[in-house]
Structure 1
Amino acid sequence: MLKTYIIIGWRNLLRNKTFSLINLMGLAIGLGCFLLITLYIADEWSFDRFHEKADRIFRVQSHIRWGGQESSMVATPDLLGPAMKKDYPAVETYARICIQQNRKLIRKGNDYITEDNTAYADSTFFDVFSFPAIAGDTHTALNAPQTVVISASAARKYFGSTDVAGRALDIKEAEKIVPYKVTAVIKDMPANSHLRFDLLFSMKSLNYNWGSAGNYNFYTYFLLRPGADPQVFQRNLRQYIVNYLIPELHAFGIHNITDFEKAGNVATLSLMPLTDIHLHSNLPDEISPAGSIQYVYIFSAVALFILLIACINFMNLTTAHSAGRSKEVGIRKVLGTARKELMGQFLTESTFMAILSLIMAIGLTYLALPLFNQITDKTIDFSRLFSWQLLPRLLLLPFVVGLLAGSYPAFFLSGFKPVEVLKGKLRMGAKSAGLRSALVVFQFATAVFLIIGTLVVYQQLRFIQNRNPGFSKEQVLTIHNAYVLGNQIGAFKKEMLVSADVKSATASSYLPIAGSWRNNLNINGENTSAAGNSFNIQKWGIDDDYLATLGIELAAGRNFRTGSPADSQSVIINETAAKILGYKEPIGRKVYSTEDDGIHTYTIIGMVKDFNFESMHQAIGPLCFKLSNWQSNELLLKINGASSEQVINKAAALWQTMAPGMPFDYGFLDQSFNNMYRAELRVQQIAMIFSILAITIACLGIFGLATFMAAQRAREISIRKVLGASVSGITQMLNRDFIRLVCIAFVMAAPFAGWAMNKWLESFAFRIHLSWWMFAAAGATTLLIALCTVSFQSVKAALTNPLKNLHAE
């Protein structure tokens, strides 16, 4: 019986090639979108799950409110790991990672190569994480100072082989070349890991002021013992605050946790499971760019909706083509075929069509995956589709889709009355028409939602890119690793400023972009330290050309003057810092800072206007500048737009003269600024692509419904034409119903889209406001596309010779 059903289905497919191709392509596109998004979601969920002890690994996060200023961060004190291991048996071991001083210059022959994917790690790192070794013993590899574990890629890059345990890498540190012994080589860290390092240096090589409970510079991971309850252990983290942090706050008049909390301060530590980090962490100082569980939910919904749209298409196209199968059904019923057998045949045919569509969808996925990887910044392999996690679902998919898409056509076709269909009278009740209309409304409601979402994301990104952040980011050339110039950095600046193409130059490690150096200072406006009058502020070391080069405006006071002894104990603050201090006229006022060597007094000589020195997801916080001649990582040149190539060439030649063998690595500040919003840009691109595909699939569905309605009303149209109706009048009559459906879809989708996009915009401190025109544009676009699709079939029906339809009467 099944064989017979398949043969009949195949013959019908070949007999109606155009209809079958449209039906197959609609379903294949929907399935292809579903498969691509499934691969994306599977990749996002797989992060950090490959570690053998992943279920027992937890990272600590910090939340602090001090002096009314709140901050949440991934960083923790260096003391946390050793203290908790000593005090609590639930800790099997811990591992700390430090990415300070992570940019390394490594000698290869006579030249140096810049490495950014580096970190310092405890010797216990490989006891916690599962990164297989190719050479050497990872469990002892980081026990001694001046040792390093490298990835297979790094080993081939520097030595041409992975069998390099025992050899040395030469690292430039200040003015010295320090050899680091390669003690182990590991496989490259997977792309689905939030840890992606090529070189791991022993923590014992890090020059650091160890043992502080108040300096937050380390990523701390705990491996709990089997059976340990993470919730119980997390409560012990409060005791760490009591035992180790509070004693360091005695200078602020705080002697116990009660004093600390009475002053309105908060310090908490919380555990995050390793497998939750990628999708559930929204903190700004992640080791690698995090994903978002919100986007996973959004794309899951999009995948489901597009699949449903494709299934709805199948229903509408199949019922639209029902007139061609009605006599077949009538004859088979007269010959005694039961309705359940007819339903079985049609469900088999729909499943057969779903299998063919899936084969086409797999081919489309294979072709589209490279572009999809490029857009999403992933390296998903096509073979992942046939992994043991996804293959069972893939095999089940056509049967689910076949049942879902074919159930209504099977019920509808098998319900034809033999007498009516054999007389050529195919009638449909209002209930069936209502169901099909509801399905079309759902299709276009989804399309409207996606269009509105795409418009809002686009406008928000455009707002970020066009909004004045308070500094000049255009035509600023950034030269990295400027510290290798040593005391020649001033001479480099002076030589570059000789060129008329260079307007100004500055050297600093602190830039208003993500990933730049950051440093906190605790200050107050009184010459006493107390729990209620201090707050944390960003402290950036700059030279006297920094403000002019970046176009940061002074609201009051003056800039630094190099060579002025008084300015070495002066600061320039931003407007937010002045508000927190309560200084309406801050110039000449004092601020006090409790530092490791005592209380420092600084005089405010200037106040800059607030500018966005972090992502626009965050509000502008307090900031101060201090004159610094310390070695800088970045050298910035403000240049004329048309002369960038000449300036780069001159800088490269001068660099090779002053720092021979050192890599000349550069970029532009506006590019780094835009990189902060890569995740949002990817969402916009993905949303736009799937919006277009959803509309395309929906148009196929509405084309099917238009075909069906034209067939149902063929005699009515013919009679109207005989009575003098015009082609335009008939076209308008047929289009009226579809205009109504699109309007209903818009009314349903617009409020939900507005709510969803408002929730998304809440993640930005600086954001657009939803405007009526965004909704109007989405509705008008959807309506125009629907009318163009329907009008083709409507005009065709209106132009048909009425005698053709009335001849049988």
Structure 2
Amino acid sequence: MLVNYLKIAWRTLRKQQGFTFINIVGLAVGLACCMLIMLYVLDELSYDRYNTKADRIYRIQADIKFGGNDMHFAVSPDPIGPTLKKDYPQVEQFVRLHQRGTWSVKRVGEPTNLREDNITFADSTLFDVFTLPLVSGDPRRALAEPNTVVISESAAKRHFGSQNPMGKPMLFDNNKTFKVSGVMRDMPQNSHFRSDFFLSMLNDNYPWGQWLSNNHHTYVLLKPGTDPAVFSKNFDAVIEKYVGPQALQLVGTSMEQFRKAGNQIAFWMIPLTDIHLHSKQQVELAPNGDIQYVYIFSAVALFILLIACINFMNLATARSANRAKEVGVRKVMGSERKQLIGQFMTESILTTVLAMLLAVCLVSVALPGFNTISGKTMSMAQLVSPYYLPLLIALPILVGLLAGSYPAFFLSSFQPITVLKGKINVSFRSVGLRSGLVVFQFMMSVVLIVGTIIVYRQITYIQTKNVGFNRDQVMTVNGVYALGKQAETFKQEVLRLPGVISGSVSGYLPTPSNRGDTSFFPEEQTDLNKGISMQYWGVDYDYVKTLGMQVVQGRDFSREFGSDSSGILVNEAAVKILGFKNWNAGSPIGKRIWRPDDPQLKTKKVYTIIGVIKNFHFESLRRNIGALSLVLDANSGAASFRISRANVPVLMKEIGAKWKQIAPGQPFSYQFMDDSFDEMYRAEQRIGTIALTFAALAILIACLGLFGLAAFMAEQRTKEIGVRKVLGASVGSIIGLLSKDFLKLVLIAILIASPLAWYAMNQWLKDFAYKIDIEWWMFALAGLLAVGIALLTVSFQSIKAALMNPVKSLRSE
């Protein structure tokens, strides 16, 4: 029976080649989109699950409200891990990570450094908590001694080639020697942090024991059976026992007074497997994903697949008049309804299997481009993995059953006597379900169009918004600290080059980087009501001028004033938070503020405000501008130069030549500040591109369905069109007659889609402190696009029907 079903199904598909082609292509595109999104979603959900103890690993996070700032950190105080291990038996182990950014690295004896990113200090317990297999070395001893480093296989290949790196010395930052004590496998891509170099935490030059500073990513491994919610209640006791005494020592106030002043400190745990998609804390080890996008793309995949299935239903029922006599004859010859249903379902599944084969080919072609857009490294091999293969096999069967169910039951329900007498009525107007499906298709298409417009408008707004400094034509040379005392010499040499307007050397730039806040107090006060937590950046005399910042009160740093070594510039946000209520009001210029110069408050550093700079965005536009200060400090992390637009490639070579003269063997690396700024919104740019791609594909699939319905409508109204033409109807009036039914459906879809799109995009924009307004024209544009696309789709069949010879159409009846 099954073989017979397959033979008949194959003959039917070959007989109706045009509709078979549309069906297979529509389903193939829908299935390909579904598979691509499925790969993306499952990859996002897989983060950190390679760790065998992932279900028991948690990261401690800190939420702090103090000095006008509401801060949410992925880092916590350095003593919290050891303290929890010591005080609470539920903690099996802990590990701290302290990321130190980019360093110059080389083998001892090699002339040339390589620029390596994400150098990370880690406790020796790293391998007790995370699953990071070593191919060489003892995981229990690898980081237990000072001056040791564990490197990845990729790093070993870069620096040692085919040689065995074990026990070999490596030079970091040109002055720190570490012995290779282990080689680990490369960390998986689906990890919320990645590093090629783990240095012993014993070498981290850090003032340990600071409960009021948050600089370490701390992970705890709970013992089996421990309830994390119950264990989290211990953090209040930890704060009272350890944080409170240091706060009392520092500012002379208890935790109770601290809270009464409107401040707050709280620690909490997030599961390791939730970090990538659910954590929106500051100072993450790497950019995270967003569960919101997983939900959005999962819904898009489902809707595109439904649109493709709806097309199949519509196209199958559009040919129902041609299949009606076949059904009647089969029933007269003794076929039962269940046999007819089996026949039509077999045709549906066969069509879907053919579509799946084409879809796999489409995925193989599209995957490299999709990886580029999404920033992933997915491969076709994943489709045949134990996780994907069952779904891949089940998908065409499920889709075939879903898409073929309505046509199968619809066609098999025809009464043989009625059909053979030619009295069957399957007119377009009577099929409300089909109209509803078309409305659903275009509703989702309009939602995707509106979403794409708003995402691109928000990205454009971000890229063109006045951020308070001029990032255009500013190039940044990285790793200037490697020059040591010659950093200023390099700056002066570059300034002599034609086309270089100004330059500055500083470790702090308004681009993505890990930074911390420092507590400041006005004059000699220690009252927490008057304190402020703000960014503390060390810069040079030319920083403000080079970056095009604006001093709105007072003045900039000047070499003419020797007292500027104790001067400070603050932004408008800091002035607003300080308020000057108890500073005799008036201008902030000349007022004095101080910060603790050590954790025990043995010394203070007092500054005099000499200027106020206009607010500028130094973080993502998702956050409001916080308090910030600039002080003169010899911090040589990077050199920034404002350059002219003429002969930029030549100028880059000249700057590179100056670098090589001063620092032979040191890697020369640079980037433009506007590119660094755009990196903060790379995720939104990718989302916008993906949304645009899938919106276009959803519209394409929906248009295939409209094409089929237009053919069905024209076929059902052949006699009516002939009569109208004989009575004098023009071609234009007939085209309008045939098109208006579809336009009604599209307009209904627009009315339903508009509030849905507004709600969804309004929720998305809530993540941005600075955002566009959702305006009416966005919905009007999406509606016009949908109407235009629908008209173009149905016009071919409408014109064809309108131009048909009425004599021929009436004779055929």
Cα deviation per residue 1:294-352 (whole Å; 9 max; x = unaligned)?
00000000000000000000001111122221221111111121222211211121111
Q: How far off is 1:790 after superposition? A: 0.4
AA in 2 matched with 1:205: N
Letter paired with 2:146:
P
1:364 to 350, 362, 376: 362
Identify if the C-alpha distance between structure 1 residues 217 and 223 changes in structure 2 by more than 3 Å, giving closer, same or farther: same
Q: Write the distance in 2 (CA, Å) between the matches of 1:453 and 1:772.
A: 13
More deviation in 157-166 or 615-624? 157-166
Asked whether 1:304 is paired with 2:302, we answer yes
Q: Which residue of 2 aligns with 1:376?
A: 374
* Paired letter, 1:229: D
| Number of the residue aligned with 2:474 | 476
What secondary structure sits across from 1:642 in the alignment?
coil
Please tell me whether the aligned partners of residues 523 and 591 of structure 2 are also in contact (alpha carbons under 8 angstroms): no
Find out whether 1:542 has 2:539 as its counterpart.
yes
CA contact (8 A) 1:247 1:255 kept: no
- Partners of 2:430 and 2:727 lie apart in 1 by 30
SS at match of 1:77: coil
Give how far 1:133 is off: 1.1
User: What does 1:404-415 correspond to in 2, within 5 Å?
Assistant: 404-415=402-413
Q: Is the 1:106–1:115 contact (alpha carbons within 8 Å) kept by the matching residues of 2?
A: no
Q: In 2, Cα distance between the equivalents of 1:635 and 1:253?
A: 37
Alpha-carbon distance change, 444 to 415 in structure 1, aligned in 2, over 3 angstroms = same
Q: Which runs of no fewer than 5 residues in structure 2 stay unpaired? A: 581-585
CA distance in 2, matches of 1:92, 1:585: 55
Superposition pairs of residues 54-203 of structure 1, within 5 angstroms: 54-100=54-100, 102-107=102-107, 109-161=110-162, 163-173=164-174, 176=175, 178-203=176-201
Aligned-partner Cα distance in 1 for 2:613–2:556: 9
Q: Which amino acid aligns with 2:489?
A: A
User: Which amino acid letter does the alignment assign opposite residue 389 of structure 2?
Assistant: L
C-alpha contact (below 8 Å) 2:105/2:170 kept by paired residues: no
C-alpha distance in 1 between matches for 2:797 and 2:423: 22
The range that moved more, 340-349 or 151-160, is 340-349
The residue correspondences of 1:435-454 to structure 2 (distance < 5 A) are: 435-454=433-452
The aligned residue for residue 625 of structure 1 is 630
Does 2:673 align with 1:669? yes
Q: CA deviation at 1:69?
A: 1.8
| Matched-pair identity in % | 48
Q: Contact 2:150/2:183 (CA < 8 Å) preserved in 1?
A: yes
TM-score by length of 1: 0.97
Q: Which amino acid aligns with 1:161?
A: S
Cα pair 1:254 1:531 within 8 Å, conserved: no
Equivalent of residue 205 in structure 1, options 196, 203, 206: 203
Give the match for residue 526 of structure 2: 529
Counterpart of 1:390 in structure 2 is: 388
Match of 1:732 in 2: 736
Structure-1 residue corresponding to 2:417:
419
Partner of 2:8: 8
CA distance in 1, matches of 2:812, 2:64: 84
SS at match of 2:356: helix
Could you say what secondary structure the match of 2:646 adopts? helix
Alpha-carbon distance change, 726 to 685 in structure 1, aligned in 2, over 3 angstroms: same
The amino acid of 2:557's aligned partner reads F
**Post-superposition CA distance 1:612-644 (Å, at most 9, x none):** 01111110000111011x241100110001232
**TM-score scaled by length of structure 2:** 0.97
* CA positional deviation for 1:252: 5.6
CA contact 1:543–1:562 (8 Å) conserved in 2: no
The alignment status of 1:20 with 2:23, answered yes or no, reads no
Q: Which amino acid aligns with 1:531?
A: L
Q: Take 1:634 and 1:489, find their aligned partners in 2: how far apart are those partners? A: 9
1:179 aligns to what SS in structure 2? strand
2:427 and 2:716 in contact (8 A); partners too: no
User: Which AA in structure 1 matches 2:235?
Assistant: L
Matched, 1:616 2:617: no
TM-aligned CA deviation for residue 431 of structure 1: 8.0
- Could you say what secondary structure the match of 2:216 adopts? strand
Partner residue, 1:606 = 611
Deviates further, 90-99 or 134-143: 134-143
Residue correspondence of structure 1 range 191-270 to structure 2 within 5 A: 191-251=189-249, 254-270=252-268
SS at match of 2:528: coil
**Offset from partner CA, 1:649-670 (integer Å, 9 cap, x none):** 1111111111111111111101
Q: Shift in Å at residue 430 of structure 1?
A: 7.3
Per-residue CA deviation, residues 432-478 of structure 1 (Å, 9 max, x unaligned), is: 51100000000000100000000000000000011111111111010
Asked whether the 8 Å contact 2:710–2:798 carries over to 1, the reply is: yes
Is 1:759 the counterpart of 2:763? The answer is yes
Distance 1:229 1:256 in 2: 31
**SS of the residue 2:446 aligns to:** helix
Amino acid at match of 2:162: S
Describe the SS at the equivalent of 2:233.
helix
The equivalent position to 1:654 in structure 2, one of 634, 654, 658, is 658
Task: Give CA-to-partner distance per residue, 1:549-599, whole Å, 9 cap, x none.
Answer: 000001011011236331111101101111111145111112222331423
Counterpart of 2:570, as a letter, is I
Residue in 1 that maps onto 2:39: 39
2:328 match: 330
Task: Report the equivalent of 2:583.
Answer: none
Q: What's the counterpart of residue 291 of structure 1? A: 289
Contact between 2:104 and 2:113, CA under 8 Å: does it hold in 1?
no
Aligned alpha-carbon RMSD (Å): 1.5
Query: 1:67: how far off?
Result: 2.7
> Quick check: 580-589 or 150-159, which moved more?
580-589
